[in-house]
């Protein structure tokens, strides 16, 4: 019995020493970092942040200012709020904050592969340059892509008509349209709206996004070292991404079998051709792992952001019928009801343009922004941040900055209109960061 008590005492002392060491290490590491709530041993500021990370961090900014430090376990995170400072990170001194921060829910699956979730700056630069150039070649963001969008819009309208005025969840139909537009650029063709494979993949994408956006997902992002070992819905993220990756792999193999090096049809074809050209380079980033990862990451990001934003937009317009009436009036005046809309119509529809911008601002799709890391020692508002310091640029604080928007907490298209009713650009419009 005495031996058991002695062992228990030794174990208790050992654990206490670990906790004490962790606590001291956390305080020592503060250095000249901005002030913030006092972290607890092991937990850091878990109790201060909680499951509702966005609102908790914004409340902490009211107490500690627009730059402060919180600890996710033993990891210090510098939280930055307000347009002026977030702009400094993204644009004014972007090279000093260029490294990507941790996103554990995705990092645990991709392990640095691909374009969006890599810490390798050479890989990021090479794949980013190629992806932007290739997508533009296939019409992304250009007038040449207009016919593709109009064609898919017609398919969407026909699909909606089949419901014959019955109640529906519009998200599924909207997602199918966006899915097909992006799928056409990535793989060269579209799907029928009843295609089971497409519906299954859309379900996987939606489940990943909703899980990451949930309390479980936020806790996973904030405390990965703990959440990795705890059961819960967050454990499904890796499984779902695995299923999507397997599907992309199967589609890539189809492209390989029918590839014509002189006539690339889509993004995957262009990547395969690039792989063949660079296969003699030992440090080339153009390989099968990055092809699958890039394709899935671009596809996932494009489909989910567009479908979610549009779904929220419909809900908002239901709540603001006066805005909907003004948009409809402008559409009738400029386009009418006897022809299809064209990209050039935007310049003659200031209220509709303002409404679209306000939708994205008010929806606030990525409130915490994409985390960044300092590339070297930097000074931010008088505080010295060492190399590798992780930054949370809070986009929600920019989109609701009262110094930038007349109605920061309300849905009001006048946030993007001048006194003459003309569309007015706003540099604080950063719904998806500064890119």
Give the integer Cα–Cα distance in Å for 114 and 271. Answer: 12
Tell which residue, 66, 70, 73, 72, has the closest CA to residue 37: 70
Confirm whether 235 is domain-assigned: yes
- 11 compared with 340, residue with greater pLDDT: 340
pLDDT at 45: 86
Confirm whether 128 is domain-assigned: yes
Confirm whether 149 is domain-assigned: yes
Phi-psi region at 50: left, alpha or beta (left = phi > 0; alpha = psi -120 to 50): left
Confirm whether 118 is domain-assigned: yes
Task: List pLDDT tens digits, range 31-85.
Answer: 579 999 999 887 888 888 877 888 999 999 999 999 999 998 788 999 999 999 9
Q: Please, which residues have CB within 8 angstroms of residue 190's CB and are 6 or more apart in sequence?
A: 152, 155, 180, 181, 183, 184
Tally of domains in the chain = 1
What is the CATH number for 235? 1.10.630.10
- Inform me whether the pLDDT recorded for 29 exceeds 70: no
Confirm whether 59 is domain-assigned: no
Q: Print the domain residue range for 217.
A: 113-319
Lowest mean pLDDT among 141-155, 239-253, 320-334: 141-155
Confirm whether 134 is domain-assigned: yes
Task: List pLDDT tens digits, range 280-309.
Answer: 888 899 999 999 999 999 988 888 888 889
Provide the b/e sequence for 213-225 (b: ≥16 CB within 10 Å).
eeebbbbbbbbbe
Chain mean pLDDT for the chain: 87
Task: List pLDDT tens digits, range 149-165.
Answer: 888 999 998 988 888 77
Task: List pLDDT tens digits, range 301-317.
Answer: 888 888 889 999 999 99
Are 386 and 377 a contacting pair, CB within 8 Å? yes
Task: List pLDDT tens digits, range 121-132.
Answer: 899 999 999 999
Confirm whether 124 is domain-assigned: yes
Confirm whether 23 is domain-assigned: no
Q: What is the 3-state secondary structure (H, E, C) of the chain?
A: CHHHHHHHHHHHHHHHHHHHHHHHHHHHCCCCCCCCCCCECCCECHHHHCCCHHHHHHHHHHHHCCEEEEEECCEEEEEECCHHHHHHHHHHCHHHHCEECCCHHHHHHHCCCCCCCCCCHHHHHHHHHHHHHHHHHCCCCCHHHHHHHHHHHHHHHHHHHCCCCCCCCHHHHHHHHHHHHHHHHHHCCCCCCCCHHHHHHHHHHHHHHHHHHCHHHHHHHHCHHHHCCCCCHHHHHHHHHHHHHHHHHHHHHHHHHCCCCCCCCCHHHHHHHHHHHCCCCCCCCCCHHHHHHHHHHHHHHHHHHHHHHHHHHHHHHHHCHHHHHHHHHHHHHHCCCCCCCCHHHHHHCHHHHHHHHHHHHHHCCCCCCCCEECCCCEEECCEEECCCCEEEECHHHHHCCCCCCCCCCCCCHHHHECCCCCECCCCCCCECECC
Task: List pLDDT tens digits, range 110-120.
Answer: 999 999 888 88
pLDDT at 429: 96
Task: Kindly list the distances between the CA atom of residue 375 and the CA atoms of 92, 94, 110, 123, 386, in Å, as whole numbers in the listed order.
Answer: 14, 10, 22, 16, 9
pLDDT at 10: 55
């Amino acid at each position: 019995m005495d031996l058991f008590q002695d062992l228990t005492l030794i174990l208790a002392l050992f654990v206490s020493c670990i906790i004490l060491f962790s606590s001291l290490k956390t305080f020592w590491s503060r250095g000249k970092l901005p002030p913030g709530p006092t972290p607890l041993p092991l937990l850091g500021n878990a109790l201060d942040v909680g499951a509702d990370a966005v609102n908790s961090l914004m409340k902490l900014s009211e107490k500690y200012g627009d730059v402060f430090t919180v600890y996710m376990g033993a990891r210090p995170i510098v939280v930055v709020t307000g347009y002026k400072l977030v702009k400094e990170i993204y644009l004014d001194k972007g090279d000093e904050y260029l490294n990507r921060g941790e996103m554990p829910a995705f990092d645990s699956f991709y392990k640095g592969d691909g374009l969006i979730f890599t810490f390798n700056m050479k890989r990021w630069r090479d794949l980013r340059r190629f992806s932007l150039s290739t997508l533009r070649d296939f019409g992304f963001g250009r007038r040449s892509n207009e016919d593709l969008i109009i064609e898919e819009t017609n398919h969407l309208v026909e699909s909606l008509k089949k419901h014959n005025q019955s109640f529906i969840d519009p998200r599924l139909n909207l997602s199918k349209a966006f899915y097909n537009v992006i799928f056409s650029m990535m793989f060269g063709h579209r799907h029928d709206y009843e295609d089971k494979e497409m519906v299954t993949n859309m379900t996987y994408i939606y489940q990943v996004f909703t899980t990451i956006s949930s309390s479980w997902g936020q806790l996973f992002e904030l405390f990965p070292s703990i959440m990795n070992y705890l059961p819960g819905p967050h454990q499904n993220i890796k499984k779902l991404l695995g299923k999507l990756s397997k599907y992309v792999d199967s589609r890539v193999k189809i492209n390989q079998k029918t590839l014509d090096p002189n006539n690339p049809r889509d993004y995957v074809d262009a990547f395969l051709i690039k792989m063949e050209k660079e296969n003699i380079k030992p440090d080339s980033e153009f390989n099968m792992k990055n092809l699958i990862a890039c394709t899935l990451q671009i596809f996932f990001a494009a489909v989910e952001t567009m479908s979610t934003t549009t779904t929220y937009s419909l809900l908002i317009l239901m709540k603001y019928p006066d805005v909907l009436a003004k948009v409809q009036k402008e559409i009738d005046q400029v386009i009418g009801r006897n022809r299809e809309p064209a990209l050039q119509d935007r310049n003659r529809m200031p209220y509709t343009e303002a409404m679209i911008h306000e939708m994205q601002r008010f929806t606030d799709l990525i409130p915490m922004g994409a985390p960044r890391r300092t590339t070297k020692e930097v000074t931010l508002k008088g505080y010295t941040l060492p190399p590798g310091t992780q930054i949370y640029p809070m986009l929600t604080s920019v989109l609701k900055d009262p110094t930038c928007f007349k109605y920061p907490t309300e849905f009001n298209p006048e946030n993007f209109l001048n006194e003459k009713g003309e569309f007015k650009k706003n540099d604080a419009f950063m719904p998806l960061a500064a890119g």
